[in-house]
A and B are shown apart, each in its own frame.
Chain A
Amino acid sequence: MLEIRNLVVKIADEDKQILNGLNLTVNDGEVAAIMGPNGSGKSTLSYVIAGKEDYEVLDGEILLNGENVLEMEADARAAAGIFLAFQYPLEIPGVATMTFLKAAMNAQRKARGEAELLTPDFIKQVNAAADALSIDKAMLRRPLNVGFSGGEKKRMEILQMALLQPSMCILDETDSGLDIDALRIVAEGVNALRDKSRGFLVITHYQRLLDHIIPDTVHVMSKGRIVKTGGKELALELEKSGYAAYGEAA
């Protein structure tokens, strides 16, 4: 369970406050969607949860299963179960995707005091996950994300999520850049991971993703705060009337 209380965050090197007392809870087994205008702070929120260093937390707390993660380094948070599918996945030159996946899985296992994965088991898991997401095996030998298309990068994020089995999955605009078929494949990938012990925070601008990944709750974010919370019908309403009602220009 993820609990965020009164989170106030500013950019580390600037006097710019982005999150202004944000409250949000995502229960185990819940799929929560966040929608909100450009620049309202959605990506910032995801980065702060994941532990990016460019931000300064001025107030509030972030608890994962009751434990304050603000004290933890990003890699420790990952090992504790936080996963972020990036809005813009980064390219890692020279490191074959396979090599990266194995290193990441083993690093997390090690942090949790588990034994290293045996290579045959690893290969089996990767192949199964790649098949489910229709990812060509040849791509796994290429350096991670280098020269991948926008949609391929997004799919690769979900592949990593499937392999790392996090307990709190944050998806930042995973639907952008996906064609219609890929959107369905990725959504199925996410749905396959839905589980009563796993929470999801799905950041998106469009109902079309939520047609496939049906949320339990929808939050509206504006100017660094959650300003409205409702059920899946809230997304449909936003699709129609925009954010004007929340003090934002349409």
Chain B
Amino acid sequence: MAAVQETIDQVKSIDVTEYKYGFITEIEVDKPAKGLTEDTVRYISARKNEPAWMLEWRLDAFRRWKTMTEPAWSRVNYPPIDYQELYYYAAPKKGASPKSLDEVDPAILDAYKKLGIPLSEQEILAGVAPENRVAVDAVFDSVSVVTTFKKELAQAGVIFCSISDAIQEHPELVRKYLATVVPVTDNYFATLNCAVFTDGSFVYIPKGVRCPMELSTYFRINEQNTGQFERTLIIADEGSYVSYLEGCTAPKRDENQLHAAVVELIALDDAEIKYSTVQNWYPGDAEGKGGIYNFVTKRGDCRGKNSKISWTQVETGSAITWKYPSCILRGDGSRGEFYSIAVSNGAQQVDSGTKMIHLGKNTTSKIIAKGIAAGKSDSTYRGMVSAHRKATGARNFTNCDSLLIGDQCGAHTIPYIEAKTATAVFEHEATTSKIGEDQMFYCQQRGLSEEEAVALIVNGFVKEVLQQLPMEFAVEAQKLISISLEGSVG
């Protein structure tokens, strides 16, 4: 019960109404004029000193985006987004494109420290055994401020840097793989991202290399009315392995902020990518004021035979989540996994799920999705499993459970199943359970406090997914879930 106890202590030490990461960092920033035109795209590209091919690619995407319309099929409601009222780029003025940590604005380093992410390698090294080290790429608004342990990683041949640096230093890799998993015109938000993406991480693991440490990117949106358009590209070459973790927070603001990311993963023959997310964007207040609009396209391509991609996500934040990390199982014998915990409280709206697209022979996939809805929130799991005509022997197992806390929230499960080969075996299990006041009273009658009871029930519910996260993040995630649900019963 140590973990449960820890959760409770954590919950108690926190002011319920305060989103812990809601502080604002006061720094001077460079911003273009508000709004989105070709000039905005040119501005971003110029600020990043991008080669001509990159600018052309962006402009092409922008022109296509202008012909597209925002999708309306998801179960989320929000007032129309005025794309001309947003800023598309914000970079700290002081120490722009820093070469080392010394050049980074101390206010930013301080912000990361407050978030519990030390960026100084000495500091990281001090307390941590080598096998537990995590290399971090820190993205603040539109730019990557620092990437740690680059040298150590380079010795293993691993490239871990910001996508901006990758465009400069490894253009051949970027050109070879960018938008090969999520095509430029895949969807409205993805196309927008292509036009105005600002920063994100780039990872390349060479043939046969097992990445010597966990890699992670920490996204922070600070500036007001500024969209964050992150772009991440991870390539695991033949026989390689990498585990990558993404974390996100944003200040507490009354306006909604837009986050439209594209993440592409590519696993070649026998390679494995494990991608974990702990998403804790500001969710808005209990009435639904403020919070992040999170419209994200994440997709992995198991391009090689026997390759494997697994997505693990813990989603507690955002006012609106629209997100379907998917796997294209192209290589014969490849495997896709999706483990998800989506927690919603207050007025949050979640429409999330996954797609497993079986194209190769004997491909397998597994989906474990746990949705917890409390308060007046609304949570939808949307999952698609399909098998192509040639995907003989495809197998999928889906388990999708919802837990409702209180009686003002909603949970929905929308599975789409499509098998074009008779040899496919798809299994689907779904349950919905509810914690009401009567259950809470029962637990309290046995001596558990309300917080202990919620933590106990919720931990039991999400255990299977938390086990997929690297240890230290699992503990973090567990705390986060309890905090998100604080005050949700009675």
Distance, CA A96 to CA B443, complexed state (A) = 13
Q: Determine the chain A residues whose CB is within 8 A of the CB of B437 once the complex forms.
A: 53-54
Of A89, A92, A96, which is in contact with the most chain B CB atoms at under 10 Å from its CB? A92
Distance, CA A164 to CA B433, complexed state (A) = 27
Q: Give the B interface residue count (CB, 8 A).
A: 25
Chain A residue nearest in CB terms to B490: A53
* B433 nearest CB across to chain A (Å): 4
Q: Take A75-B448, A92-B457 as given contacts and tell me if A53 and B441 are in contact as well, using a CB distance cutoff of 8 Å.
A: yes
Residue from A73, A86, A90, A99 within 8 A of B456 (CB atoms): A99
Distance, CA A90 to CA B442, complexed state (A) = 7
Query: Are A111 and B447 interface neighbours, CB within 8 A?
Result: yes
Query: Are B452 and A103 interface neighbours, CB within 8 A?
Result: yes
Query: Are B441 and A78 interface neighbours, CB within 8 A?
Result: no
Query: Are A103 and B457 interface neighbours, CB within 8 A?
Result: no
Q: Does A160 contact B (CB under 8 A)?
A: yes
Query: Are A106 and B433 interface neighbours, CB within 8 A?
Result: no
Distance, CA A92 to CA B453, complexed state (A) = 10
Distance, CA A77 to CA B452, complexed state (A) = 16
Distance, CA A209 to CA B450, complexed state (A) = 34
Q: Give the A interface residue count (CB, 8 A).
A: 36
Query: Are A94 and B442 interface neighbours, CB within 8 A?
Result: no
Q: Does A225 contact B (CB under 8 A)?
A: no
Chain B residue nearest in CB terms to A108: B447
Query: Are A107 and B452 interface neighbours, CB within 8 A?
Result: yes
Distance, CA A1 to CA B218, complexed state (A) = 59
Q: Does B444 contact A (CB under 8 A)?
A: yes
Of B403, B442, B457, B460, which is in contact with the most chain A CB atoms at under 10 Å from its CB? B442
Query: Are B1 and A102 interface neighbours, CB within 8 A?
Result: yes
Which residues, 14 to 68 on A, are CB-close (under 8 Å) to B? 50-54
Q: Does A104 contact B (CB under 8 A)?
A: yes
Which residues, 121 to 137 on A, are CB-close (under 8 Å) to B? none
Q: Does B49 contact A (CB under 8 A)?
A: no
Which residues, 384 to 411 on B, are CB-close (under 8 Å) to A? 403
Q: Determine the chain B residues whose CB is within 8 A of the CB of A83 once the complex forms.
A: 445
Residue from B439, B445, B450, B461 within 8 A of A50 (CB atoms): B445
* B237 nearest CB across to chain A (Å): 40
Q: Does B168 contact A (CB under 8 A)?
A: no
Distance, CA A100 to CA B446, complexed state (A) = 9
Of A53, A90, A164, which is in contact with the most chain B CB atoms at under 10 Å from its CB? A90
Q: Does A79 contact B (CB under 8 A)?
A: yes
Of A52, A84, A95, A107, which is in contact with the most chain B CB atoms at under 10 Å from its CB? A107
Q: Determine the chain B residues whose CB is within 8 A of the CB of A54 once the complex forms.
A: 437
Q: Take A75-B448, A92-B457, A107-B452 as given contacts and tell me if A86 and B442 are in contact as well, using a CB distance cutoff of 8 Å.
A: yes
Distance, CA A54 to CA B438, complexed state (A) = 10
Residue from B441, B447, B460 within 8 A of A79 (CB atoms): B447
Residue from A78, A102, A143, A164 within 8 A of B444 (CB atoms): A78
Query: Are B447 and A107 interface neighbours, CB within 8 A?
Result: yes
Q: Determine the chain A residues whose CB is within 8 A of the CB of B124 once the complex forms.
A: none
Query: Are B442 and A89 interface neighbours, CB within 8 A?
Result: yes
Chain A residue nearest in CB terms to B452: A107
Distance, CA A73 to CA B453, complexed state (A) = 14
Which residues, 424 to 440 on B, are CB-close (under 8 Å) to A? 431, 433, 435, 437-439
Query: Are A78 and B445 interface neighbours, CB within 8 A?
Result: yes
Q: Determine the chain B residues whose CB is within 8 A of the CB of A150 once the complex forms.
A: none
What string of 1s and 0s marks CB contacts (under 8 Å) between A149-178 and chain B? 000000000001000100000000000000
Query: Are B449 and A75 interface neighbours, CB within 8 A?
Result: yes
Q: Does A195 contact B (CB under 8 A)?
A: no
Distance, CA A54 to CA B1, complexed state (A) = 30
* A120 nearest CB across to chain B (Å): 15
Q: Does A74 contact B (CB under 8 A)?
A: yes
Chain B residue nearest in CB terms to A101: B446
Of B437, B447, B450, which is in contact with the most chain A CB atoms at under 10 Å from its CB? B447
Residue from A53, A94, A116, A164 within 8 A of B446 (CB atoms): A164
Query: Are B457 and A164 interface neighbours, CB within 8 A?
Result: no
Q: Does B4 contact A (CB under 8 A)?
A: yes
Distance, CA A91 to CA B452, complexed state (A) = 17
Distance, CA A212 to CA B445, complexed state (A) = 26
Q: Does A230 contact B (CB under 8 A)?
A: no
* A112 nearest CB across to chain B (Å): 10
* A104 nearest CB across to chain B (Å): 4
Distance, CA A74 to CA B450, complexed state (A) = 10
Q: Determine the chain A residues whose CB is within 8 A of the CB of B490 once the complex forms.
A: 53
Distance, CA A83 to CA B446, complexed state (A) = 7
Q: Determine the chain A residues whose CB is within 8 A of the CB of B443 once the complex forms.
A: 92, 104
Query: Are B452 and A93 interface neighbours, CB within 8 A?
Result: no
Q: Determine the chain A residues whose CB is within 8 A of the CB of B431 once the complex forms.
A: 93
Q: Determine the chain B residues whose CB is within 8 A of the CB of A103 once the complex forms.
A: 1, 4, 448, 452, 456
Q: Determine the chain B residues whose CB is within 8 A of the CB of A106 once the complex forms.
A: 1
Query: Are A95 and B447 interface neighbours, CB within 8 A?
Result: no
Q: Take A53-B490, A93-B403, A93-B433 as given contacts and tell me if A104 and B457 are in contact as well, using a CB distance cutoff of 8 Å.
A: no
* B386 nearest CB across to chain A (Å): 30
Q: Determine the chain B residues whose CB is within 8 A of the CB of A77 once the complex forms.
A: 445
Query: Are A94 and B457 interface neighbours, CB within 8 A?
Result: yes
Distance, CA A86 to CA B449, complexed state (A) = 18
Distance, CA A74 to CA B444, complexed state (A) = 6
* B458 nearest CB across to chain A (Å): 8
Residue from B435, B446, B457 within 8 A of A160 (CB atoms): B446
Query: Are A90 and B449 interface neighbours, CB within 8 A?
Result: no
Chain B residue nearest in CB terms to A145: B442
Q: Take A93-B461, A94-B457, A116-B1 as given contacts and tell me if A104 and B446 are in contact as well, using a CB distance cutoff of 8 Å.
A: yes
* A81 nearest CB across to chain B (Å): 10
Q: Determine the chain B residues whose CB is within 8 A of the CB of A78 once the complex forms.
A: 444-447
Query: Are A143 and B4 interface neighbours, CB within 8 A?
Result: no
Query: Are B445 and A84 interface neighbours, CB within 8 A?
Result: yes
* A72 nearest CB across to chain B (Å): 11
Chain B residue nearest in CB terms to A146: B433
Distance, CA A58 to CA B431, complexed state (A) = 41
Q: Determine the chain B residues whose CB is within 8 A of the CB of A79 once the complex forms.
A: 447
Query: Are B460 and A99 interface neighbours, CB within 8 A?
Result: yes
Query: Are B460 and A96 interface neighbours, CB within 8 A?
Result: yes
Distance, CA A238 to CA B389, complexed state (A) = 74
Distance, CA A197 to CA B448, complexed state (A) = 24
What string of 1s and 0s marks CB contacts (under 8 Å) between B292-321 and chain A? 000000000000000000000000000000
Q: Could you write out 10 A-B pairs with CB less than 8 Å apart?
A: A53-B490, A92-B443, A102-B1, A103-B1, A104-B447, A104-B448, A107-B446, A107-B447, A107-B452, A160-B446
Q: Can you name 18 extra interface pairs (CB under 8 A) apart from A75-B447, A99-B456?
A: A50-B441, A53-B437, A54-B437, A74-B445, A77-B445, A79-B447, A86-B442, A91-B439, A93-B460, A94-B457, A94-B460, A95-B456, A95-B460, A99-B460, A104-B446, A107-B452, A160-B446, A164-B446
